[in-house]
Amino acid sequence: MRSGPFTLLLSAFLCTIGCSDDGDGGAGGAGGQGATSGTGGATGGTSTSAGGTSASTSGTGSATGGTSTSTGDASTSTGDASTSTSGTGGSGGGMAVRTPAASANSLREAGEKANPPILIGAAISGGGLNNGDYKRVAAAEHNYVTAENEMKWDALEPNPGQFSWGSADNIVNWARSNNMKVKGHTLVWHNQLPGWANSLSGATQVEQAIRRHIENVMGHFKDRIDTWDVVNEAVITDSDTGVGNPRMRPSVFFNALGDRFLDLAFEIAREQDPNAKLYYNDYSIDALNDKADYVYEMIKGMVERGVPIDGVGFQMHIGPPNNEAGGADVAANLRRFADLGLDVLISEMDINRCSNQVTAEEQLTYYHDIVEACFVMPECKAITFWGINDGRSWLNGWSGALCNGQSSQSLLFNDQYQKKETYNRVMDALMGR
């Protein structure tokens, strides 16, 4: 019942002998033409091919046999032997996979005991930490924290050069006291900016503001946070589902600096912390669509220019207002980014049931297969759920999520903080079932 064809295909590749768990796979497959990187729109019908041969440094051999991506609904396949279901490509030999725990009593334990381990995260809100049940479930089931709103620019730097750390510090200190790591979210984002930042103009002003913000924020959390979403959601399409006319998003940053604001932000972040993991994070890039293709070319360009980027977060907001993504397509998409030599992670997962656009059964299948797609890849470092329980989901009150006052039923715990069937399906995927 829970083992669809995708599961069986992956299971066939689960390593018992001869696979190394410490390999990060190959940093290959980045040959081929660079389509649009940066500005300019790859509009409709673009196809790019990256026919590189993967080089494995771990000796496990991650041979990616030619990746082809097509926008729109044309055929899409990635030649990854362990994940391709579309019938083409795929001459990989001995792809490394993560080995599940033998037993586990919580999501975090399943992640900690997997080989290699994988972080299991949740978005945590300051308000949530006032509730005993919320805190208990959050700490029992997760070992990774993203502040839902408290580390955004408007919260941390409400006035120019004047910083406000209290709410963010509370979350970070709570996380650390429960042996949870924290990812900083987010340094440069067009949304949740204070009014003064949105009023900046001119390259010099904007660059100075970015520099001051990153330096102060990373400096403040230096010994407590070693992973950052450096740039968030820099790309848009005509639809929030990632389809149509992918392009750089107009913002105070892009308008003043052009697409070089991305390189700049990562370079400043690297100056601040030579050892931190620096990530790009976006929504509706989860499977294979116009936006994912565009972001892939953008990130590939950054890697080729030597920009200090370490990974990409796939938010995995499934259902309205964002994309839907099946497990096989997610696997193929994560694989092509990992083959650039990057970490990949699921950074904000929830699956919205409002308006029944995603049925109950589809939700369970998505939860299982998407988590599995990440779990089997050693390069996939974390799976973060965007909240703890349904009652507190951002989707419930978000126009576009089609909830109209109803619960989005999007997470793993119900309003009484009891486990739902979605929890069981996620646990199954983490346990290799």
- What are the residues binding ligand G3I (CB under 6 A)? 148-149, 191-192, 232, 283, 315, 348, 394
Minimum distance of ligand G3I from residue 232's CB (angstroms): 6
Active site residue 271: no
CB of 63 to ligand G3I, least distance (A): 34
Q: Please say which residue, 371 or 401, places its beta carbon nearer to ligand G3I.
A: 401
Q: Strand (E) positions, 270-391? A: 277-282, 311-314, 317-318, 343-351, 380-385
| Matching residue, tokens 């995927």 | 429
Token reading at 135: 């805190």
- The candidate with the shortest Cα–Cα distance to 351, out of 315, 298, 309, is 315
CA distance 230 to 156: 15
**Is 207 among the catalytic positions?**
no
**Marked catalytic residue, from 233, 267, 297, 379:** 233
Is the CB of 232 or the CB of 363 nearer to ligand G3I?
232
Chain Cα centroid distance, residue 314: 3
- For tokens 């503001």, the residue is 209
DSSP 128: G
Nearer to ligand G3I, 81 or 349 (CB): 349
Nearest to 343 by CA among 377, 375, 386, 380: 380
Under 8 Å CB-to-CB from 296, ≥6 apart: which residues?
Answer: 69, 336, 337
Beta partners for residue 119, in sequence order: 382
116 vs 391, beta carbon nearer ligand G3I: 391
* Shortest Å, Cβ 83 to ligand G3I: 25
Nearer to ligand G3I (CB atom), residue 261 or residue 283: 283
SS (H, E, C) 30-84: CCCCCCCCCCCCCCCCCEEEECCCCCECCCCCCCCCCEEEECCCCCCEECCCCCC
Least Å distance, CB 51 to ligand G3I, is 33
Q: Which of 157, 267, 297, 348 is catalytic?
A: 348
CB of 102 to ligand G3I, least distance (A): 35
Half-sphere exposure at residue 216, Cβ-oriented, CA atoms within 13 angstroms? 18
Cite the active site residues.
Answer: 233, 348
